[in-house]
Amino acid sequence: MGKLRAAITGIHAWVPEYRLTNHELSKMVDTSDEWIMQRVGIKERRILKGEGLGSSDMGFEAVKGLLEKTGTAPEEIDLLICATVTPDMLFPATANIISDKAGIKNAFSFDINAACSGFLFALQTAASYVETGKYRKVIVVGTDKMSSITDYTDRTQCPLFGDGAGAVLLEPTTGEYGIMDYIFHTDGSGRKYLHLKAGGSVRPASHETIDAKEHYLYQEGQSVFKFAVVNMADVAAEIMERNNLKSEDIAWLVPHQANLRIIDATGRRMGLPTEKVMINIQNYGNTTTATIPLCIWEYEKRLKKGDILILAAFGGGFTWGSIYLKWAYDPKKMPHNPAQSGTLLK
Ligand code: UT7
């Protein structure tokens, strides 16, 4: 038998209904549609409203839809990994809560925190389990309620982020599909530019931390921009070179959606025309761990079996990386469930 690879065999996403537009933001802080579109490229973002709702609720919706779409019973899932920076609570893991809500009873689950690179790190971790042959159905979900850590009186932060969730099903294949290669990096010294100051063990919540607004995301935008624009483009170019991929071989770049200027720079560095770059930042803003599955979900119908995708992200930590994968199914033939027959996807 050939090498086992992990292939994405289904994708689903979920976003809240409420749309926070640039027009509405301009009534809350001193900003404008023109500034936000020119500097970042966001038109609106979704916000999860409602008492008692958190990242697990969005993650659950994405997972529920994924199970329905792929005809998978919750009991069939062996492992669920959740990427998030806005867990429901510090512990237990949001992955456990999603599994409970979705009726996933025969799996173990855990969270990964790699900020905006979280979905990629979680996807590769999940793939490693699938490649052992012991885990046949693994879910990776990225979910973030960024509105819970965004200061809506700070014009330098509040236009940037939105809420949402996306999930994929991974299954083993002996075919030349699935996750082919990855390159990941971290540099913890970058934490000074992008972090959440309080609520952890160093500065537990207190009246003082609340008064100082230390439970909101802190970002030095320009500094992060400089690192992001170079590193995301470099790592995407590096994975192409390492796998002898030319720009014409690549069907799609799937970039983390933090800033349209960073996305454009990455596409240019890879020699790709804009038509080959998945972009939906205008509709959702930066949903942190959900941007990449949200993008693939929206573009799913345009994908073909065998398409080469390069996924790339940069985020807090710093963390950054890239995944090279070959798309494993023809979405036009959905609904499908390759593994229902009990055979490996070929
Ligand atoms: O996903 C995780 C990783 N994060 C990222 O990749 C984000 C990276 N950073 C960025 O995308 C950009 O740095 C931002 C979008 C955050 C900011 O864009 P920028 O072009 O770097 O703007 P800036 O911070 O240099 O600010 C330029 C000017 C400033 O005014 P002065 O000092 O030149 O008078 C800001 O006060 O724009 C002002 N400004 C705004 N004006 C209108 C900042 N925010 C706003 C705003 N509306 N919302």
Q: What are the pLDDT digits (tens) for 205-246?
A: 999 999 999 999 999 999 999 999 999 999 999 999 999 999
Helix (H) / strand (E) element for 110: namely strand 108-112
The domain of 78 spans 1-346
Sequence-ordered list of residues with C-beta below 8 angstroms from that of 14, at least 6 positions apart, any chain:
58, 61, 62, 65, 164, 165, 166
Confidence band, pLDDT 50/70/90 cuts, at residue 332: confident
| Catalytic residue of the set 12, 22, 96, 116 | 116
Q: What are the pLDDT digits (tens) for 5-48?
A: 999 999 999 999 999 999 999 999 999 999 999 999 999 999 99
261 Cβ closer than 6 Å to some ligand 1 atom: no
Give the closest residue to 9 by CA, choosing from 129, 106, 127: 127
Q: Output the pLDDT for position 334.
A: 63
Alpha-carbon distances, residue 214 vs 114, 149, 151, 281 (angstroms):
20, 9, 10, 27
Q: At CA 165, angle to CA 225 and CA 296, rounded to 5?
A: 75
Ligand 1, atom 21, lies closest to the CA of 222
C-alpha 119/C-alpha 139 separation (Å) is 11
**In this structure, are residues 240 and 248 in contact, taking their beta carbons and an 8 Å threshold?**
no
Question: Residue 343 gets which letter from DSSP?
Answer: S
Q: Output the pLDDT for position 345.
A: 43
Ligand 1, atom 19, lies closest to the CA of 222
Give the closest residue to 338 by CA, choosing from 126, 129, 107, 171: 171
Mean pLDDT across 318-342: 76
- For residue 295, the domain's CATH number is 3.40.47.10
| Catalytic residue of the set 96, 231, 259, 286 | 286
Catalytic: 286?
A: yes
221 Cβ closer than 6 Å to some ligand 1 atom: yes
C-alpha 110/C-alpha 38 separation (Å) is 38
Tokens of 22: 């640039």
HSE value, Cβ hemisphere, 13 Å, CA-based, for 333:
9
Q: Output the pLDDT for position 331.
A: 87
Q: What are the pLDDT digits (tens) for 54-107?
A: 999 999 999 999 999 999 999 999 999 999 999 999 999 999 999 999 999 999
Q: What is the pTM of this model?
A: 0.95
Q: Output the pLDDT for position 335.
A: 52
Q: What are the pLDDT digits (tens) for 116-144?
A: 999 999 999 999 999 999 999 999 999 99
259 Cβ closer than 6 Å to some ligand 1 atom: yes
177 Cβ closer than 6 Å to some ligand 1 atom: no
Give the number of domains in the chain.
1
Catalytic: 256?
A: yes
Test site for ligand 1: of 39, 149, 160, 319, most ligand atoms within 8 A of the Cβ? 39
Catalytic: 116?
A: yes
Q: What are the pLDDT digits (tens) for 257-312?
A: 999 999 999 999 999 999 999 999 999 999 999 999 999 999 999 999 999 999 99
**In this structure, are residues 344 and 174 in contact, taking their beta carbons and an 8 Å threshold?**
yes
224 Cβ closer than 6 Å to some ligand 1 atom: yes
Give the closest residue to 124 by CA, choosing from 8, 282, 251: 8
**Does position 114 have pLDDT exceeding 90, yes or no?**
yes
159 Cβ closer than 6 Å to some ligand 1 atom: yes
Q: Output the pLDDT for position 1.
A: 62
Q: Output the pLDDT for position 2.
A: 76
